[in-house]
Structure 1
């Protein structure tokens, strides 16, 4: 097949144990900008090719960006058995060598940055959003990140004449199901997962597989070969998620399921993981708070709030609502509104565009109607438009929505604030009923804001804009939900070492926390190495025995049983000592 100007169309077979093998047909991916301008013709072209009904010339249509092979259920089983066989050998490779593999990926990604972002744009990410994803991927594998991993993975010291180690051991075979809204960035969590010593199976989502296939075929797999990873260390499938997840759950060759998706699906999958003995690593929904205090840098805070609209709000770690100090609410809202109204739709190649087609357009209208019915004021946005910004009932874009509400209790009842909203909609909450006239009156309002943020059932990211050291300290000390807290900084920007994903509550499930893949896909093991000298057992003779309180006059024993019969009640310490020495075998 050929692409634009006669170039070979990028074609990615199934990657089974690091080897490219045929699948059962193809998923074809047209360039996203062509779908915006020629929607029905391009989708018809894709359907014909995907279902084996191609017309002459279809397979060389220049509107195509690439194709990815669909994997079979048998290939999913084979990938698991290959991974199980390969993983012990890969884990025996020294940590420094595996970290060097991750570092080599970082260097390759930096060298091929232009190509990387071009694939993301072809897949539908605006240029600016693709640039953000590139920066996040580079920070995920940055030398500083690897240095932190090195220190966290192994610690060694001396205690009581012994060498003591705390070592994180790989979980084994990790199966990763990326997010549909950001498949490549979420799939790249697999690179440090490999660096930790695990074998990896990635399932590229058939609804948007191109970028995942591109990176794992052209970058990750060749690097693993270069670093002499055993065959089977990496596989990449492309199949619907549900049957693949069922295969992973049922297989004894799967140890971890690394899942990106909705909170309800994540909760169900967590229960299944525990039932089947798998470790669940859940990356679920986000409903992030951005807080603006009275002394904030308001223009910068407004820019951070504007990040809500990156990718039309279809990023889990974007801010979803803003809590604003009443003293600056009017000025901040005006600044943000002017920026929101200036956003425009367009093809992803346009460097000024951040908005993308909205998947949940009907739900966006429902949430907007709910907020207005409960007292929110609609400041702008909400109309459906086409790529030329013309109103259209079938338009794929939603003009960015900005709402304002002046009551915290009312806001807490709105879906726009209480739930994750996956569309370009931001609610500014400026509680007039708790207004404070001077900074001296702010302590109560600060308590209210802290309580509101911590009451959020989700917990991915939160951010604060303030200058007062007391306010900053209170937030950093007392905000307990969320995997990341940013202060006076971009809400969505990433940094080396700082986790990109991970959170609490509905964002991460019962095991949720900030997610450093090196740590989340390993387990801690303590090791003590002695010389075998007899004195190493001396501590048993000096073990402090438990001392039980003497019997209280007039009170019987608190626990029935033989130990409290008359011949024992006067010798509780002796009985306890005997019990302990019996347990120790001495």
Structure 2
């Protein structure tokens, strides 16, 4: 296979190099400039050589060939704004046809084919997630989300939400959701492929989608667009313009989307600061902003919780070295079980180790910059927090090394909930392996529960929260009174996915002024009421 060829191809996971052009309305288009992607193993072994070779390839000084396979895994064409605008125009034309296609095709058939494709391509899917630096176990977790979101149960729920009909007074009364039109998607650099695959539900709703592939990790996006989303669309005969994807810098592409008369919605992943600023630009440009920003999730462990299970769930706070938005970021502990829970969690934390993403059992990922970790840790200890375990950089072999790519899973203890947000690691999102355990003050159970609910509801963020308790009264109280967040989990994995249940989205700094749980098929649609009579009945206005 010639690496210079830009012909569409089925990627074999054993092939070491891949090449993708821009994906314009179902057609792959070559480019004059390319972004080259280093192999994750090579970056971890010799980042200088990998990045040096990447720069030479990106500037065109040399051309990628098979001799670079030990360092460079592939390339993606850079798109200019003219091509992006062609994609938006094609999407605008396509949605006029696609939105009229029956739900039986868009939801039942398209999502069924996509679901089957996830199964058929599972090894390649995990492989490309690995090229983004995702440990194998986390790649399998992400694949689970894709399968559940397209499962028969989820399809049935989605279809009911899209068209709900009753008969009343000889009339058909219908509440339906209509596609917004052209949806653009700006995924995060840490999980681009999985985020772009969320667009499958927006496509099923009748929208057209234009996605950006980040320059830092574009391969997975372009593979998924070609081999998963694009394949399923073609199988149901969707207009080619329903899907386009381009690799490029975020700002020029976002500016083009804001300026385009064809764009209706912009799904934006990023930091809260940047996302909320972008939200204002969307409103000014009359685009619907759908924000997926930072998370600062809270886990409550009540005094009757199964501590073994709770400790295992809290370990998820270190998955990907804390560089995931929907993992535990802080824990509120009942004082009766605090010491026992901490002991169990420390023992489980010792079992985590760094490694290459394609190795089984690895859950930690490299953290490229460590300054904020040490700044947050210093702030916490300086304000009275106790360092329980961790606090250092480590090398690939697990030995402490201030210059290592990894950070030790780090646990701190804070006594007292009332003033705990004086500590930055409690108040703000952390995107590294630092987990604060906050032991609540002793008191009457009713008072403690009210305090916990208020603490969660006043969190600046609102992605996920979870509870570990057995007392049904405690569970019922917290379910009734916790109103912040897009997802609430009880006695289960904090990062669990569920059929019909949205996997992303939230309130506050997580989702912006209109933030809520994000079911992309619903967030990229709007409600319309419909009344249909037979024409033989005289009009009755009351």
| CA–CA separation in structure 2 for the residues paired with 1:469 and 1:408 | 23
Partner of 2:456: 453
Which of the numbers 490, 493, 512 marks the counterpart of 1:509?
A: 512
| CA–CA separation in structure 1 for the residues paired with 2:327 and 2:82 | 38
Partner of 1:282: 291
Assess, with a 3 A threshold, how the Cα gap between structure 1 residues 71 and 291 changes in structure 2: closer, same or farther. Answer: same
Q: Given that residues 125 and 311 in structure 1 are in contact (C-alpha distance below 8 angstroms), is that contact kept between their aligned partners in structure 2?
A: yes
Which of the numbers 81, 93, 107 marks the counterpart of 1:85?
A: 93
Q: Given that residues 49 and 59 in structure 1 are in contact (C-alpha distance below 8 angstroms), is that contact kept between their aligned partners in structure 2?
A: no
Normalising by structure 2, report the TM-score. Answer: 0.95
Q: What is the SS of the residue equivalent to 1:493?
A: coil
Unmatched segments (≥5 aa) in structure 2: 4-10
Question: Which has the larger helix fraction?
Answer: 1
Instruction: Describe how 1:518-529 pairs up with structure 2 within 5 A.
Output: 518-529=521-532
Select the structure of larger CA radius of gyration: 1
Is 1:424 matched with 2:433? yes
Assess, with a 3 A threshold, how the Cα gap between structure 1 residues 345 and 98 changes in structure 2: closer, same or farther. Answer: same
Deviates more, 1:158-167 or 1:73-82: 158-167
Q: What is the SS of the residue equivalent to 1:408?
A: coil
Describe the superposition over 1:528-572 as per-residue Cα deviations: whole angstroms up to 9, x where unpaired: 112345642353xxxxxxxxxxxxxxxxxxxxxxxxxxxxxxxxx
Measure how far apart 1:58 and its partner are.
6.9
Q: Given that residues 94 and 240 in structure 2 are in contact (C-alpha distance below 8 angstroms), is that contact kept between their aligned partners in structure 1?
A: yes
Assess, with a 3 A threshold, how the Cα gap between structure 1 residues 252 and 402 changes in structure 2: closer, same or farther. Answer: same
Is 1:127 matched with 2:136? yes
Q: Given that residues 132 and 191 in structure 2 are in contact (C-alpha distance below 8 angstroms), is that contact kept between their aligned partners in structure 1?
A: no
Is 1:491 matched with 2:488? no
| CA–CA separation in structure 2 for the residues paired with 1:480 and 1:538 | 39
Partner of 1:435: 442
Assess, with a 3 A threshold, how the Cα gap between structure 1 residues 360 and 413 changes in structure 2: closer, same or farther. Answer: farther
Instruction: Describe how 1:252-291 pairs up with structure 2 within 5 A.
Output: 252-291=261-300
Unmatched segments (≥5 aa) in structure 1: 540-586
| CA–CA separation in structure 2 for the residues paired with 1:111 and 1:236 | 23
Which of the numbers 338, 345, 353 marks the counterpart of 1:336?
A: 345
Measure how far apart 1:235 and its partner are.
0.3
Q: What is the SS of the residue equivalent to 1:232?
A: helix
| CA–CA separation in structure 1 for the residues paired with 2:14 and 2:120 | 25
Partner of 2:8: none
Instruction: Describe how 1:53-72 pairs up with structure 2 within 5 A.
Output: 53-54=61-62, 60-72=68-80
Measure how far apart 1:485 and its partner are.
0.2
Partner of 1:314: 323
RMSD over aligned CA atoms reads 1.8
Partner of 1:304: 313
| CA–CA separation in structure 2 for the residues paired with 1:455 and 1:202 | 34
| CA–CA separation in structure 2 for the residues paired with 1:93 and 1:14 | 27
Which of the numbers 125, 149, 152 marks the counterpart of 1:143?
A: 152
| CA–CA separation in structure 1 for the residues paired with 2:468 and 2:64 | 59
Q: What is the SS of the residue equivalent to 1:35?
A: helix
Which of the numbers 462, 477, 482 marks the counterpart of 1:479?
A: 482
Deviates more, 1:461-470 or 1:104-113: 104-113
Measure how far apart 1:352 and its partner are.
1.5
Q: Given that residues 374 and 410 in structure 1 are in contact (C-alpha distance below 8 angstroms), is that contact kept between their aligned partners in structure 2?
A: no
Describe the superposition over 1:313-354 as per-residue Cα deviations: whole angstroms up to 9, x where unpaired: 001000100000000000001111111122111111221111
Measure how far apart 1:411 and its partner are.
1.6
Measure how far apart 1:56 and its partner are.
8.5
* Number of positions where the alignment pairs a residue of Structure 1 with one of Structure 2: 533
Q: What is the SS of the residue equivalent to 2:263?
A: coil
Q: What is the SS of the residue equivalent to 1:528?
A: strand
Describe the superposition over 1:256-311 as per-residue Cα deviations: whole angstroms up to 9, x where unpaired: 00111111111111111111111111111100000000000001000110000110
